[in-house]
Amino acid sequence: MTDSENIDRYFQAMADPYRRGFIERLSKVPASVKELAAPADVQLPAVLKHLQVLEQGGIVISDKIGRVRTYRMRPDAFSAMNNWIEQRQREMNVAFDRLAAVMAEVPEEKDH
Amino acid sequence: MTDSENIDRYFQAMADPYRRGFIERLSKVPASVKELAAPADVQLPAVLKHLQVLEQGGIVISDKIGRVRTYRMRPDAFSAMNNWIEQRQREMNVAFDRLAAVMAEVPEEKDH
């Protein structure tokens, strides 16, 4: 799998309100599948599928102790996305500065 | 459309390598549809569709002057995502700190 495909999976994992809800909960505290499924108005198989998408997207990890599988955030869950965004933001800032410099050199229109 | 649906569209727009490629180019400099389509190994209708997804995702804006439509980044393209991630990151840090505090109170195992 290429980096690009990994990033696709990553953003794809984010593009769902249930999955973002799980991220919001797991950012605060790890939780078992049962705990995660409890308040959701979706069935357990759908919950498991969402968790699988988050795990494949590199956002969460799970451990199984006995019969209980617990999910938690990967400590580096947002690193790749942050890096990508920061790079774009830097380029945008350079482009805006250049535009501002060009605008500053345009002679002002005279009223008469 | 709800905020949640907007965020879905936003992440969905990011989850494609062609669209991320357009973002990478537009972060550096605005470009016309023709310029954006030139090096892409996809047909013009597909390019237009990708640009529409990016515009609906709140990432780019376009202006039409005469017959030429030019795309550029929204200055706030990454604000909503950054805010959402920062909030999660803060919560994760609190959770890790709490875990570290708990671990510090666990008595060390004795070797004898």
* Strand partners for B61: B72
**Both tokens of residue A104?**
């500053």
Of B82, B69, B81, B78, give the one whose Cα is nearest residue B32.
B69
pLDDT of residue A4: 80
Q: Which fold has domain A3-104?
A: Arc Repressor Mutant, subunit A (1.10.10)
pLDDT of residue B19: 95
Count contacts between A and B (CB, < 8 Å): 81
Considering CB atoms only, which of A20, A88, A95 is closest to B23? A88
Q: Is the pLDDT score of A47 beyond 90?
A: yes
Best A7, A8, A11, A84 residue to mutate vs chain B (most B CBs within 10 Å) = A11
pLDDT, tens digit, for every residue of A96-106?
Answer: 888 888 888 88
CB contact under 8 A, B27 and A81: no
Query: Considering only CB atoms, which chain B residues are within 8 Å of A73?
Result: 88, 92, 95
Q: Which of A21-30, A78-87, B62-71, B103-112 has the lowest mean pLDDT?
A: B103-112
Query: Considering only CB atoms, which chain B residues are within 8 Å of A77?
Result: 88, 92
Average pLDDT per run of 10 along chain B, which is 112 residues long? 80 93 94 88 89 95 94 91 89 88 79 58
pLDDT band at A83 (very low <50, low <70, confident <90, very high): confident
pLDDT of residue A38: 87
- Give me the percent of chain A exceeding a pLDDT of 90: 59
Of B58, B42, B53, give the one whose Cα is nearest residue B15.
B53
CB A100 within 8 A of CB A90: no
Best A10, A25, A85, A98 residue to mutate vs chain B (most B CBs within 10 Å) = A85
